[in-house]
Amino acid sequence: GRTDATAEDGAAWVGELCLALNIPMLSQFGIEAKDLPDIADKSANASSMKGIPIEWTREELIGTLENAR
């Protein structure tokens, strides 16, 4: 890794990795923009989110889902 890498560098690397690995976007599973708030709400209450050391806001969850759509 690079000691001078920024968060943007990391995000770009992850995006390139997803393309290289052919990881599908959420829209390829039929998920539409109108579905994201409900998915975010359900995600916030999921047990898997309880182990994360930071608490995401609803807006952060929706934004992340939008980027994955």
Helix, strand and coil in the chain, % to nearest 5: 65, 0, 35
Does residue 34 have a pLDDT over 90?
A: yes
Residue 31: predicted pLDDT: 95
**pLDDT confidence bin for 6, thresholds 50/70/90:** very high
Q: For all residues of the chain together, what is the average pLDDT? A: 91
Is the full-model pTM beyond 0.85?
Answer: no
Does residue 35 have a pLDDT over 80?
A: yes
Does residue 15 have a pLDDT over 80?
A: yes
Give CA–CA dist 62/33, Å, rounded: 9
